[in-house]
Structure 1
């Protein structure tokens, strides 16, 4: 990953070099291979680079031949070789073989519509000096982060919230409704952040800011659509899924530096590594961690898969100082975030960094294929609701009322949440099933004070 940041003084005042350097330095962990800045009147761009493609020449911020278009970019565009060929055929001259330069020339040809041509994960900002515009864009699924903030006479953007805090003028005012999101869901929904003056640019959105005009709201260029197609057999679906998985894994293997994969031994990561081995044609480096507690330790399964696929596997059993790690992760996340898997993810990332710069991981399978119990519970609710009278649902809920909301005991008490869901409709029912904390209600009351 890389880190990007920048700002525009809306009153036209000259950009402060010291400020953009502090902002870039605050996200140095995102890009240990170099730092770059660009000032142009009231505008400043900053970049921290993790060199993956064309390491010696892909320095950012990067510009076109006329030095009128500048970009700071985080991500990877998987169809950039095709874009490179098409743009070169139109007369664009390339100085590098990295995807960043393709974005610069694509902007010259297509402007804001360029995002519709991109296949990959990205967050970037493009400054067009001739048009006096600043263009922000984020990939369709929000894989790469991008925040923006408007305060006083300044508009700023960054890969992480901590970059804004380098500006003494940035207000640290908290948002009670964002805190309520955290207490309910375990994270803060976009476009909100914990800070009142900062927002997440939602996935599949762009912003086109013009100097001298009000900052616009984000504009959506892509929205996932669900539609029913003709009936197909399970074998057909499995074949198509395998083909698409292999194709996207092959695209992700594009790199000029060593890469590997996280391997837990579960279905998601095992499928990814299997596809990598078939695409790479050589031994793949894989990484896993183990724990002393048997209930949490999965390294035996990971090692079994590694032996089967003949990967170059590295396992390390850890007994981390959780308190110390929590303090570190709190600083890294910048806002409340309640995913307990962030602890082992950090540790296995640290292990992998000893050998590689890029890893593939298996995330999203449970969300796509309904693997979590909450999705099964949602189906149960839809099936049961027509047959369960409201008085019965309320009675079952009352039996468990002495126990904290979200408490996960065994037996009938564990069904209390499902009973509560049956008595509710739509999103309210799903919300019951994803309650993150037993102490949510008391803290929500504190937020409303």
Structure 2
């Protein structure tokens, strides 16, 4: 895992400043503490910070081949690079290193832009092609690795993190109020928007082609999740296919020339990853984060898995003092407002892991793939709140007919507004009341990040659950989950790998009918993640899965209660007319929302607290 940077001055006679290139590259030194390098070609410059994982001796970047006609700066890991290397050697190519970096560059030489269709892994990279006079920039299928770019008045720039761009003297820090409105809904800013005007996140499964004058000449989608269920396969066969695919994905994700371990939250997904590693003959280092509040603590379940599979188990507990100490640092590294509070424990657990090893596997992605979130069942309830189970509905109709009554049902199709209301912190109406009129009038309502993906999902004619899952793949999983993990882990120079968020795993998931992922029982209860639960029951016992899903929950109510230091600080923010949030928000409306100390929405509180602290430090 690494940090990358690139600058293209629009004026081809204006050479890139080495000082500026070094500054924007070293701004992400934490992403690559093992080395750095630069490449300059007239008005173009690439920078790189390296975290050595594969080919520790000869994998330095930027890397050039073909008589220096091709140059790459790259962040990520390609898990099938040895297979691709063998394939390319068979057709006559030669290699000077053992790195996956060189494989990407030679693969680009062979396949051109189609190189991305051959890669299994996580990546963001840029290739300068001297002969074609263009730069090819690509981001992986699901956005595991970040890629941000800026279209300035006199230069184009790309990088791994937003904070890099502030190191360029011509960068303009102009707030994008449409992006701010998105933040109020989701607690993060979905791609392609960022908090700043003219600064964009390259969407997952996309690539750009830029000429040497810094103009984007092509932006293309090369991958999208395609839900095409196969109904002829039995449930048990799907369970077997998923088991094999997960074990294979774990095997790919452990390819490294350094030590690795795994997150172990105590939940189903990370427990399956840990058990797969152990069953493959590895002595596994497993890491768990805990809180003093037992109501949100899954440590006992993690201990159960660790004991069963003989894992070397490490447990780290955090409290409010830890939160206060790291919060300013998190604000800086995210580069824009980001209010997923689980970034705090993610930072601390990754810091602990880095004391032992530089690579760790994660269970992220299981909920999106197999129907684990409560938002999915709540979205399905809208379709038919009384009884989505057809067999039960037919039984009820017959029973009512016998006593001379009629079954009343008013199902309707859930729509985009329903989904946004389910996943929003502040809904549309609340946001409209909260923003100052002059700010709200400048918000581009067409900038809704979910709208185009909702339309794409409808074009695929997806069922209700698959549509919700698709929306999460196109927004939440990379905008929130993967951003959180990437930034928090790379602050500690730790590489995180995600076997569930893998192109082969996701393509398999998209073939499985919804009824095998999530369904409602006769008694009205819901079964979520059915296939993963079946696998987990075989490995850990039935009692392990018969519990309420917790997720990586943070005790915000404990940390921000009105008697705590952070709680008192928030009260001072909303009472002070000079607080920076009131350049955008109506103070009286905000006071109203937090007037009852016994009815505080702590997710809203944390979103506002984060925004104020970001504005103070941006």
Query: Same-fold call, TM > 0.5?
Result: yes
Could you tell me which residue of structure 2 aligns to residue 363 of structure 1?
364
- The correspondence of residues 369-380 of structure 1 with structure 2, limited to 5 A, is 369-380=370-381
Could you tell me which residue of structure 2 aligns to residue 404 of structure 1?
none
2:423 to 412, 434, 437: 434
User: Cα 1:62–1:443, aligned 2, differ >3 Å: closer, same or farther?
Assistant: farther
Could you tell me which residue of structure 1 aligns to residue 169 of structure 2?
168
Could you tell me which residue of structure 2 aligns to residue 297 of structure 1?
297
- The correspondence of residues 34-113 of structure 1 with structure 2, limited to 5 A, is 34-113=35-114
Residue 425 of structure 1 deviates from its aligned partner by 4.7
Q: Is the 8 A contact 1:265 1:302 kept in 2?
A: yes
2:440 to 421, 444, 448: 448
Residue 228 of structure 1 deviates from its aligned partner by 2.8
Q: Is the 8 A contact 2:318 2:345 kept in 1?
A: no
Q: Distance in 1 between matches of 2:309 and 2:39?
A: 47
Q: Distance in 2 between matches of 1:18 and 1:46?
A: 11
Could you tell me which residue of structure 2 aligns to residue 313 of structure 1?
313
User: Cα 1:23–1:90, aligned 2, differ >3 Å: closer, same or farther?
Assistant: same
Could you tell me which residue of structure 2 aligns to residue 271 of structure 1?
272
- The correspondence of residues 17-416 of structure 1 with structure 2, limited to 5 A, is 17-212=18-213, 214-279=215-280, 281-319=281-319, 320-384=321-385
Q: Is the 8 A contact 1:201 1:218 kept in 2?
A: no
Structure with bigger helix share is 2
User: Cα 1:315–1:386, aligned 2, differ >3 Å: closer, same or farther?
Assistant: closer
Moved more, 365-374 or 146-155: 365-374
Deviation readout 1:36-73 (Å, 9 max, x if unpaired): 11111111000111100011110000111411111000
Deviation readout 1:58-106 (Å, 9 max, x if unpaired): 0000111411111000111111111111222223221111100011111
Residue 423 of structure 1 deviates from its aligned partner by 8.8
Q: Distance in 2 between matches of 1:90 and 1:148?
A: 35
Aligned-residue Cα RMSD (Å) equals 1.9
**Does residue 1:8 correspond to 2:8, yes or no?**
yes
Moved more, 337-346 or 257-266: 337-346
User: Structure 1 runs of 4+ off > 6 angstroms?
Assistant: none
Residue 216 of structure 1 deviates from its aligned partner by 3.0
User: Cα 1:213–1:169, aligned 2, differ >3 Å: closer, same or farther?
Assistant: closer
Q: Distance in 2 between matches of 1:428 and 1:289?
A: 35
Residue 282 of structure 1 deviates from its aligned partner by 2.5
Residue 443 of structure 1 deviates from its aligned partner by 3.6
Q: Distance in 1 between matches of 2:415 and 2:311?
A: 45
Q: Is the 8 A contact 2:287 2:353 kept in 1?
A: yes
Q: Distance in 1 between matches of 2:315 and 2:267?
A: 15
User: Cα 1:135–1:149, aligned 2, differ >3 Å: closer, same or farther?
Assistant: same
The two structures have a TM-score, normalised by structure 1, of 0.88
Q: Is the 8 A contact 1:183 1:443 kept in 2?
A: no
Moved more, 282-291 or 261-270: 282-291
**Runs (5+) with no aligned partner, structure 2:** 389-410, 442-618
Q: Distance in 2 between matches of 1:170 and 1:312?
A: 47
User: Cα 1:90–1:287, aligned 2, differ >3 Å: closer, same or farther?
Assistant: same
